[in-house]
């Protein structure tokens, strides 16, 4: 385990097979694996993909992977931090067991900068629940909105903690992501995420009260924009569906 990176290694071969099957890899696909660790997924991916790019931040693990796969011509191993890697232009499929500490940052970078076709990510169960949370639940928040804006996310299955080594404290969840196509993505996303950050900065207050305190805008004007977007001014941010947040961000964006 790499304590500083929060990494637990998958050791269950049946689960590894299930993850790779879920990615639906073909002989035309290039797969980028973030944090291959000991290479349990890498080995299976090489049997199916045209090419596998394994990005591993740990130097010792990279050395071990190069020895293990020294005769694999379809594999490229990169010793680097994915968050610092320049995006590839070619379309890729992504797979990873994401560390808790960097899961959000990795997803956000992939969503915004990379040409991705699909992704299968494994998270701590709590993170998966936040990604898939419904409005009105305690897990619903900025992470839910980030994922919803860029993708369609689907829970695939849970993994018991005993399938990893060292054994983590919690179970994990495997989630599939498919790109959500939008127009004027950069302009809309900036407004949307600013609004989400401000709105969820204070819990248990109405959206009207939060924004009137955080943004320079007449309260009555704010009330009108909320109503136009189908949002009750008395709603709390955690009760507002992503679609209504998006409509509201388009009209409200000039004020933030």
The mean of the pLDDT values for the chain is 95
Q: Taking the CB of residue 33, how many other CB atoms lie within 10 A of it?
A: 24
Average pLDDT over residues 124-153: 97
Lowest mean pLDDT among 111-125, 159-173, 175-189, 226-240: 175-189
Confidence (pLDDT) at 119: 99
Confidence (pLDDT) at 182: 76
Could you give all domains of the chain from N- to C-terminal order, each with its CATH number?
3-179 (3.40.50.150), 185-255 (1.10.8.100)
Helices (runs of H) and strands (runs of E) counted in the chain: 10, 9
pLDDT band at 187, cuts 50/70/90?
A: confident
Residue 24 has, within 13 A of its CA and on its CB side, a CA count of 6
3-state DSSP call for residue 124?
strand
DSSP, res 135: T
pLDDT higher than 80, residue 183: no
Q: How far is CA 38 from CA 10, 41, 94, in A?
A: 8, 9, 17
Distance CA 161, CA 2 (A): 17
Question: For 39-77, how does the pLDDT look when each residue is reduced to its tens digit (9 = 90+)?
Answer: 999 999 999 999 999 999 999 999 999 999 999 999 999
Question: For 194-214, how does the pLDDT look when each residue is reduced to its tens digit (9 = 90+)?
Answer: 999 999 998 889 999 999 999
Question: For 74-89, how does the pLDDT look when each residue is reduced to its tens digit (9 = 90+)?
Answer: 999 999 999 999 999 9
Confidence (pLDDT) at 3: 43
Confidence (pLDDT) at 6: 55
Confidence (pLDDT) at 5: 55
pLDDT band at 18, cuts 50/70/90?
A: very high
Confidence (pLDDT) at 2: 45
CA angle 84, 189, 211 (to 5 degrees): 120
Residue pair 27/21 in contact (Cβ under 8 Å)? The answer is no
Question: Is the preceding omega at residue 166 within 30 degrees of 0, hence cis?
Answer: yes
**Tokens 């919803």, residue?**
148
> Residue 110 burial by CB count (10 A; 0-12/13-18/19+): exposed, middle or buried?
buried
Beta-strand runs (E) in 166-233: 172-179
Q: What is the pTM of this model?
A: 0.93
pLDDT higher than 50, residue 1: no
β-pairing, 164-165 with 9-10? antiparallel
3-state DSSP call for residue 117?
strand
Question: For 117-133, how does the pLDDT look when each residue is reduced to its tens digit (9 = 90+)?
Answer: 999 999 999 999 999 99
Question: For 85-103, how does the pLDDT look when each residue is reduced to its tens digit (9 = 90+)?
Answer: 999 999 999 999 998 899 9
CA angle 47, 176, 78 (to 5 degrees): 50
């Amino acid at each position: 385990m790499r304590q500083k990176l929060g990494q637990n290694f998958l050791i269950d071969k049946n689960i590894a097979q299930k993850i790779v099957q879920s990615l639906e890899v073909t002989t035309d696909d290039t797969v980028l694996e973030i944090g291959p660790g000991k290479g349990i997924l890498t080995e299976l991916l090489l049997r199916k993909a045209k090419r596998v790019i394994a990005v591993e931040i740990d130097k010792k693990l990279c050395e071990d992977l190069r020895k293990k796969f020294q005769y694999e011509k379809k594999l490229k191993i990169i010793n680097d931090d994915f968050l610092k890697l320049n995006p590839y232009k070619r379309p890729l499929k992504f797979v990873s067991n994401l560390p808790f500490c960097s899961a959000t940052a990795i997803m956000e970078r992939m969503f915004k900068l990379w040409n991705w076709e699909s992704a299968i990510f494994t998270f701590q169960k709590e993170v998966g629940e936040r990604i898939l949370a419904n409005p009105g639940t305690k897990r619903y928040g900025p992470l839910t909105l980030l994922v919803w804006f860029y993708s369609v996310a689907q829970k695939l299955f849970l993994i018991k903690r005993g399938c990893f080594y060292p054994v983590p404290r919690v179970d994990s969840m495997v989630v599939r992501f498919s790109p959500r196509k939008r127009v004027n993505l950069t302009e809309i996303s900036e407004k949307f995420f600013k609004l989400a950050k401000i709105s969820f900065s204070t819990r248990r207050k109405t959206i009207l009260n939060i924004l009137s305190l955080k943004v320079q805008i007449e309260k009555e004007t704010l009330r009108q924009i909320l109503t136009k977007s189908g949002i009750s001014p008395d709603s709390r941010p955690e009760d507002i569906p992503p679609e209504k947040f998006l409509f509201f961000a388009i009209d409200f964006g000039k004020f933030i």
